[in-house]
Amino acid sequence: MNKILLSTEQIYRGNLLLVNKDFPVKTSGEGGFVPVDSRFPEILIKSQAAKAFRWILEEIGGSNEIIPVSGYRPSAEQEKIYESSMEEYGELFTRKFVAKPYHSEHQTGLAIDLGEKKEHIDFICPDFPYRGICQQFRRRAAHYGFIQRYSEEKEAITGIAHEPWHFRYVGYPHSQIISKKGLAFEEYIAFLKRFSAHKKYVFQRKGQLPIHVFYVPADASGITAVSLPEQGVHEISGNNSDGFIVTHWPDGTIDFRR
């Protein structure tokens, strides 16, 4: 086994950060942003999320019909959007659709709002219907690491109203697990705490070795030791709260899409 040491700061880094009204952004995305599409150089997201987004559009042939509306937002921009929404639409609307500064997934660089191409696109609530090319994107999203973050049936859990246009990159296989189990991201982060290095969650893959996922609570000392198998490769993400999520590919190949 290989032992690695993780610092408290690493709790706030990675693809599986839970950001909501209870858990604010601590790192503002840490950089590493790229344009989600060369036609929209001002809309930035994390590089792996951008690759996954382009892979989906390429597969479904949606480049000319799906428009990226909003990606990474620094805190000042999120604050401006929040205040403008309060002035224009009022508190009730804003609380349903706009997160407070430091409580928005957009500040991680892992979230993107999408709209169906049309003459006018609403910045706060872009139209992304459950039909046509938009639905094709939605159906393929989990195969490439994305989830539709805010569904109507999970509103009481997420604290955000139904947003058909808002997608969050969590990476594969997490997107598939979340989708197949019908979980909100909050529920998934809680679900993973059932598993440990001694009792891993096993994600089965046809014709390939399974992927193992488990949770490691952060040590109160500020340094957490994690033992990992010598064979294969792994990814480690903080959960933005109290620990780390380890994803292990025994065959040594990380899948970014499936």
From 163, 186, 187, 235, active-site residue: 163
User: pLDDT exceeding 70 applies to what percent of the chain?
Assistant: 97
Question: Is the pTM for the entire model greater than 0.75?
Answer: yes
163 is catalytic: yes
Number of residues that make up the chain = 258
Q: What is the C-alpha to C-alpha distance for residues 230 and 250, in angstroms, rounded to an integer?
A: 9
Q: Which two tokens stand for residue 236?
A: 């480690």
> Measuring CA to CA, how many Å separate 72 from each of 5, 69, 87, 229?
30, 11, 23, 35
Where b means 16+ CB within 10 Å and e means fewer, 182-194 reads ebbbbebbeebee
Domains and CATH numbers, the chain: 1-16+187-258 (3.30.200.180), 23-169 (3.30.1380.10)
- Dump pLDDT digits (tens) for 141-191: 999 999 999 999 999 999 999 999 999 999 999 999 999 999 999 999 999
Asked if 129 contacts 116 with a C-beta cutoff of 8 angstroms, the reply is yes
Q: Tell me: the pLDDT tens digits for 99-129? A: 999 999 999 999 999 999 999 999 999 999 9
